[in-house]
Structure 1
Amino acid sequence: MKQNLSNHINLLEAKTHFPDLIQRVQDGEQITICKHNTPVAKIITQKPKMDNIVEQIRECSKGKTLAPYTIKELRDEGRKW
């Protein structure tokens, strides 16, 4: 597959090698598709939904504490100043 350093590819090559392009995008690249040397589309990774990220943080923090302090102790300490 013909590819230059700026990740531009013509429409016919994109159609022919679409599965390979998708794999490259999954690996972190951004691909620009050109028609008659004019950029017409860009393939980029989709950002994960925030709900998934929040759930991952909750799962990761299960069972963890701000030891040796409780939230009440941290709050009361902050009120001293």
Structure 2
Amino acid sequence: METIGAYEAKTHLPQLLERVAKGERITITKHGVPVATLQPADSSKRTPVRDVIDQLKQFRSAHRLDGLSVRDMIAEGRR
């Protein structure tokens, strides 16, 4: 695992994120003290896009606005 200073991490964040996406882990230090670790996201927690779309469609079919417009709801919230 590579160690990198906070200033350098800030300066080169896009490149660091590319490396992390490829599987690397990088420790970020501040004044030589480790403060954070960049590591790939846990892919097992990701929900497939198709499943999310299906869930949204199911939610929309069960929840209707019954003629309310977004403007009406905003106005109601301002009262």
What TM-score results when the alignment is normalised by the length of structure 2?
A: 0.55
Q: Partner of 1:47 in structure 2?
A: 42
Report the Cα distance in structure 1 between the residues aligned to 2:46 and 2:28, rounded to whole angstroms.
29
Bigger Rg, structure 1 or 2: 1
Equivalent in the alignment of 2:25: 30
Change (3 A) 1:19 1:39: same
Percent identity between matched residues is 44
Match of 1:13, SS state, is helix
Superposition RMSD in Å: 1.6
Q: How many residues align?
A: 48
- Normalized against structure 1, the TM-score is what? 0.53
- 1:36 maps to a residue whose letter is H
Letter in 2 for 1:20: Q
- 1-side partners of 2:18 and 2:46: how far apart? 23
Q: Which of the pair is proportionally richer in helix?
A: 2
1:11 aligns to 2:33 (yes or no)? no
Secondary structure of 2:37's aligned partner: strand
Give unpaired runs (5+ residues) of structure 2.
Answer: 52-79
